[in-house]
Structure 1
Amino acid sequence: MAVRALGVPALLLAFTLFVRFNALGDPDYHVDETFYLLVGDAMHHGAAPYVDIWDRKPPGLFAFFWLLAGISTSVLTFQIAAVIFTAATAYLIHLIALRWADRTGAALAGLTYIAWLQPLLGGGGQSPVYYNLFVVGAVALLVRGLDDLPVGIRHRHAIGAALLCGIAVSFKPTALFEGAFVVLAFAWREWSRTRSASSTLHLFVPMAVAASLPTVLAMAWYIAHGQFEAYWQATVISNFHKGRSVAAVWAHTVRFLLLLSLPLTACALLGQVRARQEQGCSPFALLIRGWLMAALAGFLAVPNFYSHYALPLVPVLAVAAAPWFAHGLVGRVVAVVSMIWALHYGQSFDFDKATQSAARFERVTQVLRANMPHGTLYIHDGTPWLYHTTQARLPGRFVFPEHLAMSNEAPAIGVDPVAELARVLAQAPDAIVVTDTLRPEYNRTTFAMLQREVTARYTLVCALPGADFEHSFTFYIYALNQAPDRRQCPSAAARSGKVLPKPWPA
């Protein structure tokens, strides 16, 4: 019996390792997650998020990466953690799905979750890969509470679910919608059972306290250190000031996500049709549909769309699809085809990807090190993880390149990006890095300033290939007016001259 009980968790873990194996050790899967690890490492050296390194992500995410950086600053640290979190989340999805699917259908729901993270930029360490576990855990407690209705809601389950939601919100604010759904669903159940305002408040108040606890603790830390203004500007004010995406970019992204996710959403719709036929509007079905609405609200709450913003939708869509996956041979075949589609577009079958990416990244690191006599570097476009691999000093608070390079960030970061870039360039960094990644929303003013500086004082050392999950691009490395060291640079890739390439449309 014990062996059989371990069967599904072992299957889910093995499948997670298989689909994510090709990203293990990749230092350039995506710029976000290595930036989080860079911040986590900097925190071990006294830096405080928002004060010394600026970003708008909530403090829970950086605290988590601080813990990971305390183990190791290898990218494998957060990637292995992502494997564990993904498999654990899939197992909880399987348990929830057992409410309206057989064992096979529920297991396929868990496997579907694992597969469908891949094409949505979830094969690395994006924040939903971690906080989905807390949200799904809270929903699992909510679902478990259905069995407690005759005798009353267990307060420890309700408070535990609220705390899990609070932790999720401390990773990303949009989890607030799912957290609010869980808390209100518990309160509504208590009201429906008792019709007592005092009994409902007796449940709701401690849940509200538990849900807000992670955020309150973070605020208290910044207040105690006299840095609340920096915390508030970064995590709250900046979210309202960031500009919207260019309309063409927004439309393209939405079309891409709709087409890419069509197999998963179709399975979820088919699953709901079948569930309605078999169960009607059961309490469980209503909970899952409420969860779906909350997840959709979180997705739509942000006016800018990136592929990974859809990751919080995957758990509830996988659960919603479970009744269809339990629909005999047809349902199982559709589930497998859907997963193969996801793994193909998620690049899971590109088994040499991490090795090739690591080799390319090491070449860029070596060229930079050879041209950094004073250990100073500025990355205007490209992964900030190069600051770590080259052991360069950070040039200032704005280490994530988009904050100074993108026009929609200019009103949100709390300082004048032109003045900040002027301050950085006045330090005469040994090397400057840009890439030719398409940036329709680039900041023309800061780019023009960089162009003038490079033309006057820098020499192009090398142009090296790079690739993350979404793009293939070229790293352009410039050295401060000196004879460039091209020993690590292929002669065919080296160029003479000082003009900054114009990778972005005018």
Structure 2
Amino acid sequence: MHNPFVIRDYEDLNWKRVLFILVLVALIIRFPFFFRDYVDRDESTFIIMGQSWADGHLPYTQLWDLKPPVTFLFFASVIKIFGQSFIAIRLFGSLMVAITALFTYGIASNITSKKIAFWVALFCVFFQSLFGSLQGVMSEHICTLFFVAGVYLLFCRPRWYLFLVSGLLFGLSIMSKLNMAYPVFVVGLFLLWEGFKQRKIASTIVNLALMVLGTFLIVLLTALPYYLEGNTQIWWQSIFKAPMAYSEGKFHSPLKTMPFLVVILGLLAVGFKTNLIDYKSRGLQLLTAVTLGILLSFMQAGKVNGHYLIQLYPFILIPMGMAVAKLPPLQKKFRPVIIVLLLLIPMESYLEYANIISNKIKKGSFFNGEGVDVPRYITDHHLETENIFFTEYHIGYWVLGVSPPTKAATHPSNITREELFPYMQNPRQTGMEELRYIMETIQPKTLVARKGKEIFDKKLLEYNAYIDTYLAEHYTLVATVDRGLIYQRLK
């Protein structure tokens, strides 16, 4: 029987075999994290927003978060079909990573050899799954899948319908994470420049018009359910106006992104200068345009979080792979060292496998983390669940089947983001007013915090001083579950 893992001739690879290997590697790396309560707080928010949509409430109407609706649509679809399942959400996240890597392989195999393309795709799985909070399902995973698929179509033979489909994919990408509008715009400029250079102006403009049509069609489709409900204002404000206000917030500055941008642009410049990267290659020019567009979006956002880099990996790994392939081949005596290093890359996964086994032995469940254990304690000890406020581990709302106390509290940190309040149709105007309303009017019977951590950002002295004083006067600590602190309101 033919072993699918033994690759004797990379040129004989077909996409089915590549996909099989990528899916298997993605599952092996990401599987132990299927049982984690959360890896990044944003994922918890997406799950809660998805549940609200699955329950019949359009995004931004009952709950609110700063992402376009296609991100929430992914979670809502999985929840609607498979119910409340961490495993289903993380499984489909793993498939997204593998398919993104497959399209990366397709792009790379149009520029370079299938051998380099295969290894680039494999490292694409690694880099989208490891090194930080990437084992959950992030909005970047969703938008990157659509965007890479759209770029792949631009490497196929130019057909009018492929530009339309590419535009639809770009629209889905932008409606998953708005910053993808920057690389889409830069790609459009590149295609326009290419058309002028090749003196194919008429056909280029037609193709670009189809691409733009596809993109705007998706944007308008996301507005349709709000139009039918007579509430397009919340759609417009939440998707377009709020992100602009957020990027101008006090903790964001384009200067913070400069060191990262200098490193990436420096590597590209060195690659082109030394001819390790062929600057005459049309494919590499297009990938460079995409990279510049993504970097521009980071500058506009004013920060570069680790999970933002998911958007960048497929497009910088290809030229990096091509550059490495041009270096002198390693001597045979060093190959065992390379094999060991490759096996050590998923160290986070190995540690998580040990963690879930340890948790099963100690607590009787593979599912672990305070976002699971705290709700279990609350349920087992018959504490109040309807009127509850998670200042941390807010995935607990989903586990308990309840909603956050207010729209602004969907993601706990949104309470302090006053610049967003005008766009979420929130009756309170300031963060302190919102916090006082939650604590003094709603009066949560149960409150959950985290041991050793301020409830709000340590720079927000007024918020922390208020809630620390209020907890001391009106609440008592009834339990500590690992790092989770469970408070009960005094009668």
- TM-score class, shorter: 0.7 to 0.9
Q: In 2 relative to 1, CA 265–352 (structure 1 residues): closer, same or farther, beyond 3 Å? A: farther
Going from structure 1 to structure 2, the CA distance change for 1:265 and 1:282 (only over 3 Å counts) comes to closer
2-structure distance, mates of 1:419, 1:218: 32
Confirm or deny that 1:21 pairs with 2:31.
Answer: yes
Matches within 5 A, 1:191-210: 191-197=196-202, 199-210=203-214
Match of 1:419 in 2: 433
Structure 2 Cα separation of the partners of residues 14 and 386 of structure 1: 30
Instruction: Say yes or no: does 1:89 pair with 2:89.
Output: no
d(CA) in 2 for partners of 1:266 and 1:77? 41
Tell me the CA shift for residue 178 of structure 1.
1.9
**Equivalent residue number for residue 492 of structure 1:** none
Question: Which residue of the partner structure matches residue 445 of structure 2?
Answer: 430
Q: Secondary structure at the match of 1:24?
A: helix
Structure 2 match to 1:313: 312
* Aligned-partner Cα distance in 1 for 2:383–2:243: 36
Q: Tell me how far 1:405 sits from its aligned partner.
A: 4.5
Write the mapping of 1:214-225 to structure 2, written as runs, cut at 5 A.
Answer: 214-225=218-229
How far off is 1:416 after superposition?
A: 2.0
2:168 aligned to 154, 163, 170, which one? 163
CA offset digits 1:33-53 (Å, max 9, x no partner)? 122111111112232211211
Write the letter of the residue equivalent to 1:383: Y
CA contact (8 A) 2:417 2:431 kept: no
Match of 1:295 in 2: 294
Q: Aligned partners of 1:178, 1:336: CA distance in 2, in Å?
A: 36
SS of the equivalent of 1:88 reads helix
Aligned to 1:40: 50
Contact 1:53/1:397 (<8 A) preserved: yes
2:474 matched to 1:475?
A: no
Match of 1:285 in 2: 284
Q: 1:59 aligns with which of 53, 60, 69?
A: 69
Q: Secondary structure at the match of 2:141?
A: helix
Structure 1: distance between partners of 2:245 and 2:389: 26
Unpaired runs of 5+ in structure 2?
Answer: 5-12, 360-365
Shift of 1:308: 0.9
Q: Which runs of 5+ in 1 are unaligned?
A: 146-152, 466-473, 483-506
Quick one: distance in 1 between partners of 2:42 and 2:66? 12
Is the aligned partner of 1:446 residue 2:451? no
Structure 2 CA distance for aligned equivalents of residues 216 and 412 of structure 1: 19
Structure 2 residue 476 is matched with structure 1 residue 459? yes
The 5 Å alignment of 1:24-423 reads 24-72=34-82, 73-117=84-128, 118-145=130-157, 153-197=158-202, 199-242=203-246, 244=249, 246=251, 276=275, 279-327=278-326, 329-330=329-330, 343-344=346-347, 346=348, 349-354=351-356, 356=359, 358-361=367-370, 362-369=372-379, 370=381, 372-373=383-384, 375-380=386-391, 382-398=392-408, 399-405=410-416, 415-423=429-437
Letter in structure 1 aligned against 2:300? A
Task: State the AA in 2 paired with 1:131.
Answer: C
Calculate the TM-score normalised by the size of structure 2: 0.82
Query: How far does the alpha carbon of each residue in 1:376-434 deviate from its partner, in whole angstroms, 9 at most, with x for none?
Result: 20112x12210121233431212110111467767876632222222222122220112
- Mark the CA change 1:154 to 1:160 in structure 2 (over 3 Å): closer, same or farther: same
In 1, Cα distance between the equivalents of 2:295 and 2:109? 23
Measure, in 2, the Cα distance between the counterparts of 1:335 and 1:64. Answer: 38
Q: Identity of aligned pairs, percent?
A: 18
- What TM-score, normalized to structure 1? 0.80
- Relative distance call for 1:119 and 1:284 in structure 2 (3 A) is same
Residues 91-149 of structure 1: CA deviation (Å, up to 9, x unaligned): 1111221234322221110111111121142221011112212111111111224xxxx
Computed over aligned residues only, the root mean square deviation of the Cα atoms, in angstroms, reads 3.5
Give me the whole-angstrom Cα distance separating, in 1, the residues matched to 2:268 and 2:31.
Answer: 27
Task: Measure the CA separation in 2 of the matches of 1:455 and 1:371.
Answer: 23
Structure 1 position 278, deviation (Å): 7.5
Q: Could you tell me how far apart the structure 2 residues matched to 1:168 and 1:299 are?
A: 16
Change (3 A) 1:57 1:204: same
Contact 1:20–1:348 under 8 Å retained in 2: no
- Aligned amino acid, residue 490 of structure 2: N
> Which amino acid in 1 is paired with 2:465?
A
| Corresponding pairs, count | 458
Q: Structure 1 pair 21/273, CA: closer, same or farther in 2 (3 Å)?
A: farther
Query: 1:288 touches 1:316 (CA, 8 Å); kept in 2?
Result: yes
Aligned-partner SS, 1:432: strand
- Contact persistence 1:106–1:326 (CA under 8 A): no
Tell me if the contact between 1:459 and 1:481 (Cα under 8 Å) persists in the aligned partners: yes
Distance change >3 Å, CA 23–CA 270, structure 1 → 2: farther
